[in-house]
Structure 1
Amino acid sequence: MSGRRILVVDDNEDILRLVDEALTMAGYEVTTATCGAEAVRKGSLCLPDLVLLDIMMPDADGYQVYERLRAKPSPGLVCPIIFLTAHKDIDHKLLGFRKGAVDYITKPFHISELVARVKVHLHEDEPTGGDLPNPLTEREREVVRLLAHGKTYKQVAHALRLSQSTVRNHLHNVYQKLNVVDRAQAVIVSRDNGWI
Structure 2
Amino acid sequence: MANYKILLADDEAALRFLLTETLADEGYEITEAEDGKEALGYLQAESYDLIILDYMMPERTGVEVCEWLRTNENPNRQAPVILLTAKALEKDRERAKAAGVTQYIVKPFSPLQLVDTVEALIHRSGA
Per the normalisation by structure 2, the TM-score is 0.89
Report how far residue 60 of structure 1 moved.
1.6
Aligned counterparts, 1:13-162, within 5 A: 13-74=13-74, 77-123=77-123
Q: Distance in 2 between matches of 1:105 and 1:40?
A: 21
Take 1:15 and 1:80, find their aligned partners in 2: how far apart are those partners? 20
Gap runs ≥5 in structure 2: none
Q: Contact 1:7–1:52 at 8 Å: present in 2 too?
A: yes
Structure 1 counterpart of 2:95, which letter? L
Distance in 1, Cα, partners of 2:74 & 2:20: 28
Higher normalized strand content (fraction of residues) = 2
CA contact (8 A) 2:70 2:99 kept: no
CA distance in 2, matches of 1:14, 1:77: 28
| CA 1:76–1:122: 2 relative to 1, 3 Å | closer
Deviating more after overlay: 108-117 vs 38-47: 38-47
Partner AA of 1:59 in structure 2:
E
Specify which structure has the bigger relative contact order, considering alpha-carbon pairs within 8 angstroms and separated by 6 or more residues.
2
Q: What TM-score results when the alignment is normalised by the length of structure 1?
A: 0.59
Give % identity. 35
* Partners of 2:30 and 2:72 in 1: CA distance: 20
Contact between 2:46 and 2:75, CA under 8 Å: does it hold in 1?
A: no
Determine which structure has the larger helix proportion and give its number: 1
Q: d(CA) in 1 for partners of 2:92 and 2:46?
A: 28
- After superposition, the Cα gap between the structure-2 partners of 1:110 and 1:31, relative to the gap in structure 1 and judged at 3 Å, is same
Contact 1:44 1:72 in 2 (8 A): no
Rounded to whole Å, the distance in 2 between the matches of 1:121 and 1:36 is 22
> Which structure's CA Rg is the greater one?
1
Q: What CA RMSD, in Å, does the superposition of the two structures yield over aligned residues?
A: 2.0
Whether the aligned pair in 1 keeps the contact of 2:82 and 2:104 (CA below 8 Å) is: yes
- Consecutive unaligned residues of structure 1, counting only runs of 5 or more, are 125-148, 150-190, 192-196
CA distance in 2, matches of 1:73, 1:21: 31
Corresponding residue number in structure 2 for 1:11: 11
Which deviates more from structure 2 when the two are superposed, residues 41-50 or residues 25-34? Answer: 41-50
Alpha-carbon contact 1:47-1:77 (below 8 Å) kept: no
